[in-house]
Amino acid sequence: MILKIRQVGELVLRQKSRPLSFEEIASRSVRNLIESMRETMYDAPGVGLAAPQVGVPLQLVVIEDTLEAIQRLSPEQAAERERRPVPLQVLINPILTRAEGAAEFFEGCLSVAGYTAIVPRANKVHVEALNQNAEPVIIDAEGWYARILQHEIDHLSGVLYIDRMNPRSFATQDNYLRIWRDKSIPEVIRTVSGDLK
């Protein structure tokens, strides 16, 4: 079932989500929620979706970055972002325990529909979570995969990318595609900073 994606301004996106118990993870309702979130992420389309984005304040995310999505970028853009396919993952009660390095790229969100901005993120992360079978999962990710994990885990704390963005880079998706898509991030930052430097 395709679920309604909540938009910025709705309280559930600003609340801390609660962890799931082992009993809840095994429940039919959580299994149905995971399947509906997966379908909703594909339909949007997106590379990640957190339960609060569909109105459920639980520590649950689904992630998948497909080859088809990556191929919409130029080879240079995909390489610059260190973007590689990530198979479907369900992460429950994820904890980001280490973040290293730094990278800035334009980032969007299904809950801030139609907009994008440059967001600084760690380039490498270590995440510990449970999967849909309540089994421990350890992830060491880098590049775009690390960015997706940080973005989705932020949702579980009520944090949106607009809280972390370079505010002067905030743009509509249309203007990003028209003006900024083929520019380097340092060039965009220099341009939008203008007289501030």
Active site residues: 152
The first and second tokens of residue 197, run together, are 């430097």
CA distance 73 to 70: 6
CA distance 17 to 168: 30
Contact (CB, 8 A) for 104 and 118? yes
Question: Which amino acid is located at 158 in the chain?
Answer: G
Buried b / exposed e over 31-44, threshold 16 CB at 10 Å, is eebbebbbebbeee
DSSP letter at 178 equals I
DSSP letter at 18 equals B
CA distance 177 to 168: 16
CA distance 84 to 73: 12
Question: Which amino acid is located at 68 in the chain?
Answer: E
